[in-house]
Structure 1
Amino acid sequence: MSGKPKLYYFDGRGRMESIRWLLAAAGIEFEEEILETREQYEALLKEGALLFEQVPMVQMDGMRLVQSRAIMQYIAAKYDLYGKNLKERLLIDMYVGGTTDLIEIIIPHQFLSPEDKQKHIKFIVQKAKERYFPVYEKILKEHGGKFLVGNQLSWADVQLLEGILMVEEKCADILPDFPRLKEFQQRISEIPTIKAFLQPGSKRKPAPDDKYVTTVRTVLQAYYNVKLNYIN
């Protein structure tokens, strides 16, 4: 197990996309083993490659890494995206945690029934406008720098940009009320490694479609419909 990191997941975003973002921001090339069949997944289970019988899994540095947050903490620390001291690391963890909560609201969208999808979009926009974006707008104002933490790019910046773009896919005009976030989005998007990841043909995944949903359900043998009670 050596060379480029190898990512084991479906051909879509899910909980692997933030890992792709972080590796891309660090300028690290990676390979992917796309899971398309139940047999591939069962082979990984039989091999003992999935510690908790779950993906995502990343193979790098002679290890098989599982649990999304642990994977990203390792990557951020390894590639100098995790602050300069304990206080900065704490702030990064806090900000990443908030953005992750927002992303976790968005991830189930494609798995919802058609009648729930419009309600879900309204819920996403409400949470972004009322809970999450005002916090980051305030942080950027008070910090006064180009980045959320310290004076260099961190995991927190990468995660927030991903979250902003995911919300914009559901509501394109959401940022006019958050001018600092808009400036942040434009500025971080111009960082060369991130700019490359945002270009067509990169390993960034598009918004999930019905094919992705069918594959996930087939591989994981999960055929139920997701129902989010909090949007009713």
Structure 2
Amino acid sequence: MNVSKSNFLGLFLLGLSLAVGISIGGYFIGQTMYNAKVALNTAEAKGLAEREVQADRAEWRVSFSATGRTRADVPNLYTQAEGTQQVIIDLLKASGFTDNEIATDALSYSFREFRNNEQIVTDQDHTISGSVSVSTDKVRLVGAARAKMSRLIADGHNILSGQPVYRFTRLNEIKPEMLREATKNARLAANEFAANAGVKVGGIRSARQGGFNIRDAGEEYGDTRKIEKMVRVVTTIDFYLEK
């Protein structure tokens, strides 16, 4: 087969163009894949935010009872229990609590018999009991009022002062700011990693928010016994890394 010089030159130039084109195209494809690979490199970092807060609600229950040995004592026991109930209410009001913050439940009656080995009744307990509850935002008054209850015990009243429950209920008010702080701290941690690796921190690829945790200040467990509390949240964020 005879091929003229002009045809040969044309074929040569065409082949050269294809080779150059493929080479250039391969470069851009390779560079694109490289850039994509770099862009997908990520670093996971955790960010912590903490806030010291004070409880804004308190619940407190004071229980009382009057006990007698015979059923004939029951009317007097009711009168005695009602008197103790009123004494507790008076003390709470004198301590700064209002009627709307104080609640009482109905007095209840219970009866027990004690028998010997021959199943003969040897003793009885007849008890009238009740309680007075406080629900308030005056959290600082609760401790002082509770201390005064000991005077009623010294006066002969059968009283059991329960452990106050202190709660922080305004978590939603501080959530946004704490999440921003946790995210900022996560980026700072990622920047430390990136600086050591010779890369830069880019945008956020994904984020996972841990639950908000409320604990009594200085305690590992429990969140209702102290007025002072610590709120804590940890976010886990994947950042893109850029060259």
Q: Specify the TM-score bucket, using the shorter chain as the normaliser.
A: under 0.3
The structure carrying a bigger helix percent of its residues is 1
TM score, norm. by length of structure 1: 0.22
Structure exhibiting the larger radius of gyration computed from Cα positions:
2
- More strand as a share of residues: 2
